[in-house]
C-alpha cells in the first residue's frame, strides 16, 4: 500500500519518534508499505515519521541506477554507535520536495539496530549509505536536512520554501 508522505512544514516532522517494542505483523506491514512508498516516490530512504508513524524505523535502498542491484535495508531502533571523518553530500528529502542542498555528515559510521524480527544487527558503512542512514536517523529525532545547514543558508532556504508553499 502506498502511504501519504508528509511534507515541510508539517509539525509532525519535528516530533521525536518512539522505539519499536513489538516486532509483529503490524510492524512488518508498515515496513512493506514504507518500502513500496519509497520506491514509488523514487526516494532512496524513508523514515516512519514521514508517513505519520512516530516509530524509530526507516528503510533505505541506495541502488539508483537500474543496473544496480537492489538491496533493501530495514533499520529498527537504530543507534549510530561510532563515527569518523566528514564528507559533504548534496541531499534531498521526500518531505522537502524540489530542494537539494549540500550537508556535512560523518564519512564512516557504525550503526547498531534490529531487523524486523527483533534480531540485533551491526553495520559498518561509509559513503552514500552512511549519509542516508544519518539523514533518516535525523528524521526519528525530528530533524530535517535543512536544519543541518549553516544559519545563513538555512534562512535562505526557508525563505525559498515559504514562498513555494504560499504559491
What torsion, rounded to 10 degrees, do the Cα atoms 143, 159, 12, 83 define?
-10
The binding track of 100-139 with respect to Co ion, each residue x by CB under 5 A or -, is ----------------------------------------
Indicate the burial class of 121 (C-beta count within 10 angstroms; 0-12, 13-18, 19 or more). Answer: middle
CA 109/CA 125 separation, integer angstroms: 6
136 is catalytic: yes
CA atoms within 13 A on the CB side of 21: 1
> Which stretch in 26-34, 93-101, 113-121, 158-166 sits in contact with Co ion by CB under 5 A?
93-101
Check residue 161 for interaction with Co ion (CB under 5 A).
no
Report the nearest approach of Co ion to the CB of residue 111 (Å): 17
If the CB atoms of residues 21 and 40 are measured against Co ion, the closer one turns out to be 40
Report the nearest approach of Co ion to the CB of residue 151 (Å): 21
Report the residue from 3, 27, 51, 93 that binds Co ion according to the rule CB under 5 A: 93
If the CB atoms of residues 99 and 118 are measured against Co ion, the closer one turns out to be 99
Cite the active site residues. Answer: 136
Binding site residues, Co ion, CB under 5 A: 93
Amino acid at each position: 500500500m502506498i502511504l501519504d508522505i508528509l511534507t515541510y512544514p508539517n509539525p509532525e516532522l519535528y516530533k521525536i519518534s518512539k522505539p519499536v517494542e513489538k516486532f509483529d505483523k503490524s510492524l512488518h506491514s508498515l515496513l512493506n508499505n514504507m518500502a513500496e512508498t519509497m520506491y514509488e516516490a523514487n526516494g532512496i530512504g524513508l523514515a516512519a515519521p514521514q508517513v505519520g508513524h512516530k516509530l524509530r524505523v526507516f528503510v533505505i535502498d541506495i541502488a539508483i541506477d537500474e543496473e544496480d542491484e537492489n538491496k533493501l535495508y530495514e533499520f529498527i531502533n537504530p543507534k549510530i554507535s561510532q563515527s569518523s571523518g566528514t564528507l559533504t553530500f548534496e541531499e534531498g528529502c521526500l518531505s522537502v520536495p524540489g530542494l537539494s542542498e549540500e550537508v556535512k555528515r560523518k564519512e564512516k559510521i557504525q550503526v547498531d539496530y534490529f531487523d524486523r524480527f527483533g534480531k540485533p544487527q551491526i553495520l559498518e558503512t561509509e559513503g552514500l549509505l552512511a549519509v542516508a542512514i544519518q539523514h533518516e536517523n535525523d528524521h526519528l529525532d525530528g530533524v530535517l536536512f535543512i536544519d543541518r545547514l549553516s544559519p545563513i543558508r538555512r534562512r535562505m532556504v526557508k525563505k525559498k520554501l515559504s514562498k513555494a508553499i504560499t504559491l
